[in-house]
Amino acid sequence: MPKKESFLINRIKSIGFAFKGMLILIRTEASIKVQLFIAIVVTFAGFYFDISKSEWMAQLIMISIVMSMEGMNTAVEYIADFIHPEYHKKIGLIKDVAAGAVFIASIIAVIIAGIIYFPKIL
Ligand SMILES: Nc1ncnc2c1ncn2[C@@H]1O[C@H](COP(=O)(O)OP(=O)(O)OP(=O)(O)O)[C@@H](O)[C@H]1O
């Protein structure tokens, strides 16, 4: 059935575009680079301290939330700069709010890391 094939091909193409977007994020965004580095460090820490299954899940969920929020924050910045490259108070507000969303996830990630690793270190 040609219709089904084109649907599948389109899905595969979409995955390709998404993968390209992820590589662009990792290559160009300093914040994502830092977050990826922290994600790798805590992954090693997870193995070193032999954290439980639920601790792994909490850690992985927070890594994905922080990094995907950062990706969306970058997309908002791109849109803002495209729509209005010059200085504007509203653009500043839009970017600050988008960055604030990443900050919320980051605070919770640090708290969860504390809950997991503090008892193991002390
Ligand atoms: N066009 C603008 N008009 C007004 N304020 C702006 C504008 N562009 C940036 N800002 C201010 O500078 C801040 C940083 O914006 P910028 O686009 O440089 O993000 P960034 O440093 O790349 O952030 P991130 O580290 O989250 O990727 C914004 O949160 C906003 O307060």
The ipTM value here is 0.90
The DSSP annotation for 17-77 comes to HHHHHHHHHHHH-HHHHHHHHHHHHHHHHHHHTT--HHHHHHHHHHHHHHHHHHHHHHHHH
CA 77 to ligand 1: nearest atom? 17
CA distance 15 to 22: 10
Contact of 24 with 67, CB cutoff 8 Å: no
Residues 30-121, CATH architecture = Orthogonal Bundle (1.10)
C-beta 36 within 6 A of ligand 1: no
Residues 64-122: tens digit of each pLDDT: 999 999 999 999 999 999 999 999 999 999 999 999 999 999 999 999 999 999 999 98
- For the chain, which residues make up each domain, given as ranges? 30-121
Residue with CA at minimum distance from ligand 1 atom 10: 92
* 3-class DSSP state of 10: helix
